[in-house]
Amino acid sequence: MKYDLFTTDVWEFDFPYHVQFKKQISDFLQSDYAEDYLKWQAEQNPSLTSYGGNELWYEGEASIISFFELHTRRLLSKVEEVHDWESGKWKNFEQWLNVNQKGDFNPPHIHPGHHYSGCYYVNFPEDSGHIHFLDPRPQHRIASPDLPNRPDPPDSNTEESGNPYAVTNSYDSSVFTYKIKEGKIIIFPSWLMHYVDPNPNDSTRVSIAFNAKYISNYEYSEK
């Protein structure tokens, strides 16, 4: 008998109507407003490592914003079901646009104040980088054997990375690398530390990220 304790669940789904939705996002980013905003943002904040944000996203068509939230909430219901949470509501739903030119990246971070976060990959040219999740248990590294095949961040733990000591199992890895695929949406606990590689290509990569907090009926009844 084996027990997997303290499971960290990371989900992958196909985002519905990806081709049509990608076209709508592409059209918006080619609008005069979006192009002017991104240019202004780069001029005002030359040290930024990623562009876009919620201010740009919420200037888009209301139907696009509502569509993304609707389908993301439906996927979150699967997370809710597996956790066997009492029927409640996903509140404080936030969403924003990530626009990454060549060299742009997302440094290690978490999403405080929420329960689950995620990212939908709208436009992601091949070999545009991956997202890496870090083991949140510091004692895991302290108490584990000093194996040569446990790379430290920011090394990838995939065989494709070219690392001859690549780790391919979830027991001995301190980093889990998710190979990003266009049209997919991943959902993960907001407390899970993660980062995204610099974009090595001339093509722009685009994603929509979100945060959500689950409020149970018990919490509602207490108010």
pLDDT band at 209 (very low <50, low <70, confident <90, very high): very high
The arithmetic mean of pLDDT across residues 36-51, rounded, is: 87
Residue-range domains of the chain with CATH: 15-124+184-222 (2.60.120.620), 130-137+151-179 (no CATH)
pLDDT, average across residues 35-49: 87
Distance CA 98, CA 75 (A): 21
What average pLDDT does range 202-208 have in this prediction?
A: 93
pLDDT at 40 over 50: yes
Please state, in angstroms and as integers, the Cα–Cα distance from residue 75 to each residue in 11, 14, 159, following that order. Answer: 9, 10, 30
Identify residue 17 by its one-letter amino acid code.
Y
For 141, the token pair is 């590294």
Burial 167-206 (b: 16+ CB within 10 A, else e): beeeeebbbbbbebebbbbbbbbbebebbbbebebeebbb
pLDDT reading at 211 higher than 70? yes
Q: What is the mean predicted confidence (pLDDT) over 53-82?
A: 88
The model's confidence at residue 177, banded by pLDDT at 50, 70 and 90, is confident
DSSP letters spanning 67-114: HHHHHHHHHHHHHHHHHTPPSEEEEEEEEEEEEE-TT--EEEE--TT-
CA distances from 55 to 58, 94, 119, 165, 221 (A): 6, 11, 17, 43, 34
Nearest to residue 121, comparing CAs of 10, 9, 21, 8? 21
**In this structure, is the dihedral angle defined by the CA atoms of residues 157, 158, 164 and 166, taken in order, positive or negative?**
positive
pLDDT band at 73 (very low <50, low <70, confident <90, very high): very high
Residue 141: per-residue pLDDT: 62
Match 């509140």 to its residue by tokens: 91
Look at residue 223 in the predicted model and tell me its pLDDT.
Answer: 52
Q: What is the pLDDT of residue 38?
A: 92
Whether residue 45 has pLDDT greater than 50: yes
To 10 degrees, what angle do helices 18-29 and 32-44 make?
70
Average pLDDT over residues 68-88: 88
For 110-141, the pLDDT digits (tens) are 999 999 999 999 999 888 889 999 888 776 66
Residue 158 has pLDDT above 60, yes or no: no
Rounded CA-CA distance 25/47 in Å is 25
The answer to whether residue 157 scores a pLDDT higher than 50 is no
Task: Map tokens 């409020």 to a residue.
Answer: 215
What's the Rg (C-alpha) of the chain? 19
**Angstrom distance (rounded) from CA 98 to CA 56:** 10
Instruction: Decide which of 116 and 58 is more confident.
Output: 116
Task: Give the per-residue pLDDT at 162.
Answer: 44
> What is the percent of the chain with per-residue pLDDT over 70, rounded to a whole number?
80
